[in-house]
Structure 1
Amino acid sequence: MATFKTFDALATEKGRLFSFSLLYISEGIPFGFTSVALVTYLRGAGLALDQIGLFMAALFMPWAFKWAWAPLIDIFKLRRFGGRKTWISFCTFAMIITLLMTATTDYISDFQLLITMVTLNNVFCATQDVAIDALAVSTLKENERSRGNGFMFAGQYIGISLGGGGAMLFSSAYGFNNTLIFISALLSICLLYTLLFIKDPFTRELIKQSKTNVFRQLALKFKQFFVTLYESFFRSGKGPALGILFALMPVGAMALAYATLSTIQVDYGLSEAEIGRLSIFNTITAATGCALGGWLGDRFGLKPTLIVTYILTAIPTIFLAWNIYQFGLVNIDTNTFYSIVITHGLFYGMSFGIHAGIFMGMTNPLVAATQFTAFMAMTNLTISFANYWQGLVAENHGYAWVLFLDSLLILLPLMLIPLLRNRKIKSPKNDKQLEPAYSN
């Protein structure tokens, strides 16, 4: 009787790049829906800019605090049940369920309930991200990190395009609530691929069961984990410590990448279908930028490439700010407006695609879920705060001031980038401490 055999997609370089791209697509889909399609819908329904800023801040909160539960993935590797693949699969399934539940919410009259449902969905999405990043840190080879992150964030932008612009086009044809079925179907495809073709390499390293008391082994596991985590942050050279500060700084000029862009498009007068098409073009361009940034980072170095791309994100941002200040938003030529948005998407994709590569070099693979997540969570906290202050400033002073301030703030990370370093490895023994006898 013939049996169906699956292959290990993470066993080859091409398989790793494709798989992590697809896993990041599954991250980008719900984010694109909430940050693009839903924000556009809320603004079109008359929601104030400061409320939308609050909504986006709430959306990013789980991503900012995912470090709080990230140790669970490092400590409970679930080797006997598929390892981090199990975490990824469960969270993807939970994301689908919470999105379908969100379809029953009245977005305007039950605004607080909407925030609650979207926050819950992003708890699962952020946890899925923790597991994916931990798998990537321990799977990608050193010479694949820049390209790997470029492909991963390119995948995320493709997911954002599907969940954002794709959902807007779907909504214009079939109604907004039905887009949640569309989003859930896309996530189901990613879930199926994970179940069939992803294998955690940790599951190949089953450790013999010890006769020691299970609870004592578990206590030892927690102790070893936190010792290793402390050493990975504070006894691995200056790199990880500076990384904490760098993670709290803006990722280039960010306003045209998040909620401010969505509200600008509505106030500019674009229709739902036009916003959907522009969003698709913009995110495809950003995805291309991620891949290009990864290639440039491997060729010329992460830090020089990051400095250049950060500066490039400010150019279209300042140009749009000047046009709004001089002529008013609605008086800007359509081709000019589209060109500014898409150009920024390219440059922001280039910077964001290699931004995470900086932190991978600072991360100890043994505590990858927690340490790398801490870096990225602080980045998300920065994005959350940026969406909040941008909404307040836009509501009270207009878009031009938001864009000018956003561009000015990139001076902070530009001064720190030359000082960043990878972690220092003391000895091979120190990187093998977190393998206790007890295995889940």
Structure 2
Amino acid sequence: MNQTSNHGSFPSLAENGFWRYFNFIALYFAEGLNMGMLFVGLPAWMAMKGKTPGEIGGFAFACALPWTFKFVVAPLMDRYTYLPMGRKRPWVLFGQIGLVASLVAMAYVPDPLNNLQLFMAAAFGVSAFGAIQDAATDGMAVDVIPEDEQARANGFMGGARMIGSSLALALGSWMLSTYSFTAAMLAVAAMIGFMTLVPIWLREQPGEKIAPWTVGTTSPAAKKLQATNWLAILQSLLNVFRLKNSLIISLLLFITMGAYNYFETLLPLFAVKISGWTNVFYGQAFATADLIGGIGGMLIGGYLIERFGKKRMISVYFALIILMVIALSVLKIYWSNTPFIYGFIIGYRWLNAFAKIGVYAIAMQCSSKKISASHFTFYMTIGAFGSMVGATLIGPIKDNFSWEITFFSFVGMIALAWLTMHFLNIDKQIEQLAELEDKESEKQVAQLVR
């Protein structure tokens, strides 16, 4: 169905494709604002201010750590919610509002570069709400996006996140240099607050409440999918992660996310210390790269995956990333050449965006709707563990090896991800998930009859 609901003046995501895309573009744009500042903008600023690779890696670790706890929050989302407002929408709103509040709190950390423990603690708090928002948004996406829209939707979502990241990076880096840390963080908080208006006005299912005090009721679709006890959730999780392909997807996410965070935390250090860039110039370059990659992801990233297949296109992207990084490693004479490094960053971020769209589309397609938040979030949590490991590797590898070896370590990670993906059977996973969901539904019916 592609028409607006008759239940009140506000549309529902389940009924309307345009509003589905609009909602997830807004939420992923907000997520990109947060992540662009925390994972790229602030590390580049720290590098410009003379912080060591170990200190920057420690900050990246603090930012990545809360994302590993999503596996605790996700089952809570599947088990507890305020159903009259939707299965995941109340959690999305909680995450968005918490994200704004925590960014405002972080903005007032005194002298952050000389108060690193409090600075990292504040970053941890922001990332915690970011992880909640991300888990809730992902669960909502699994619930309401039809399978035939998932690749394209992931293109829109991934692209929006990169555009948000580029905006936060460009604006944030400029404000860090021109004004202050406080002003930069408050600006990001304000933009995320504005994006929160979108999930406030859009229902998940027709007839649901916009707010607790408005007219509406629990939708039959939400009631049918809602898990009713902890045992059922844990049993479903155990069943899906017994599947061979669930384990392969988990390993793929662990390796790819670890590799990406390793390399993307390393890039500002390289650009500032080796290429002689300022953090503002790096922020502008990375923002331009993300803007190009994000627009490309939204326009053609999802389409290419739909047209040629997820595994085939991801293999192409991995191969091109490997070739680009090998070229960077061996062409040392160009490391101080600004156009060369600028072009490399744009090309890498374009390919990185397209590869992420494909990997996330695989994870979404291979997630159970019955425990949408828990299953998809477990995949993402394993990816977050990988990100954390990738951040911790930066200090030891860079302190003990040359830049060439440091780059080739990333090449090895991507090659391992490519090898892992070739053991994955997506069709088999979907078939087995459908069988499990049917068996669990039959079991619940039998228990009710008794």
Q: Same fold (TM over 0.5)?
A: yes
Q: Secondary structure at the residue paired with 2:435?
A: coil
Structure 1 position 271 matched with structure 2 position 281: no
Q: Secondary structure at the residue paired with 1:374?
A: helix
Question: Of the candidates 205, 214, 231, which is equivalent to residue 223 of structure 1?
Answer: 231
Distance 1:255 1:428 in 2: 35
Report the CA distance between 1:125 and its aligned residue: 0.6
Aligned residue number for residue 162 of structure 2: 157
Structure 1 position 349 matched with structure 2 position 353: yes
Aligned residue number for residue 36 of structure 2: 32
Report the CA distance between 1:262 and its aligned residue: 1.8
Contact 1:89/1:191 (<8 A) preserved = yes
Report the CA distance between 1:225 and its aligned residue: 1.5
Distance 2:150 2:132 in 1: 21
Distance 1:299 1:366 in 2: 28
Contact 2:63/2:127 (<8 A) preserved = yes
Distance 1:16 1:144 in 2: 10
Question: Of the candidates 412, 419, 428, which is equivalent to residue 423 of structure 2?
Answer: 419
The 5 A counterparts of 1:37-52 are 37-52=41-56
Structure 1 position 241 matched with structure 2 position 247: yes
Cα deviation code 1:170-198 (max 9, x no counterpart) = 33443332011210110111111110124
Aligned residue number for residue 283 of structure 1: 290
Contact 1:150/1:290 (<8 A) preserved = yes
Question: Of the candidates 430, 434, 438, which is equivalent to residue 439 of structure 2?
Answer: 430
Aligned residue number for residue 211 of structure 1: none
Distance 1:322 1:360 in 2: 37
AA matched with 1:415: L
Contact 2:250/2:383 (<8 A) preserved = no
Contact 1:73/1:131 (<8 A) preserved = yes
Structure 1 position 181 matched with structure 2 position 189: no
Q: Which structure 1 residue ranges, 5 or more long, are not aligned?
A: 209-216
Question: Of the candidates 140, 149, 153, which is equivalent to residue 144 of structure 1?
Answer: 149
Aligned residue number for residue 118 of structure 1: 123
Contact 1:137/1:360 (<8 A) preserved = yes
The 5 A counterparts of 1:60-99 are 60-99=64-103
Cα deviation code 1:194-247 (max 9, x no counterpart) = 101243568422889xxxxxxxx99x611112122222222xx43213222222
Report the CA distance between 1:123 and its aligned residue: 0.9
Aligned residue number for residue 212 of structure 2: none
Cα deviation code 1:299-354 (max 9, x no counterpart) = 11111111111111122222222223xx374xx31111111111111111110111
Per the normalisation by structure 1, the TM-score is: 0.88
Contact 1:240/1:421 (<8 A) preserved = no
Cα deviation code 1:95-152 (max 9, x no counterpart) = 1111111112121221011111111111111011111111101111111111111111
Q: Provide the alpha-carbon RMSD of the alignment.
A: 2.6
Report the CA distance between 1:160 and its aligned residue: 0.9
Question: Of the candidates 336, 343, 363, which is equivalent to residue 359 of structure 1?
Answer: 363
Question: Of the candidates 133, 137, 142, which is equivalent to residue 132 of structure 1?
Answer: 137
Per the normalisation by structure 2, the TM-score is: 0.86
AA matched with 1:254: Y
Contact 2:289/2:349 (<8 A) preserved = yes
Q: Secondary structure at the residue paired with 1:359?
A: helix
> Residues 431 and 77 from structure 1, CA distance in 2 versus in 1: closer, same or farther, beyond 3 angstroms?
farther
Contact 1:252/1:351 (<8 A) preserved = no
> Residues 207 and 73 from structure 1, CA distance in 2 versus in 1: closer, same or farther, beyond 3 angstroms?
closer
Runs of 4+ in 1 over 6 A off after TM superposition: 433-438
Higher relative contact order (CA 8 A, sep 6+): 1
Distance 1:257 1:194 in 2: 33
Comparing 351-360 with 161-170, which one deviates more in the overlay? 161-170
What fraction of aligned residue pairs are identical, expressed as a percent?
Answer: 23
Report the CA distance between 1:427 and its aligned residue: 6.3
AA matched with 2:266: T
Contact 1:253/1:317 (<8 A) preserved = no
Distance 2:112 2:399 in 1: 21
Report the CA distance between 1:18 and its aligned residue: 2.3
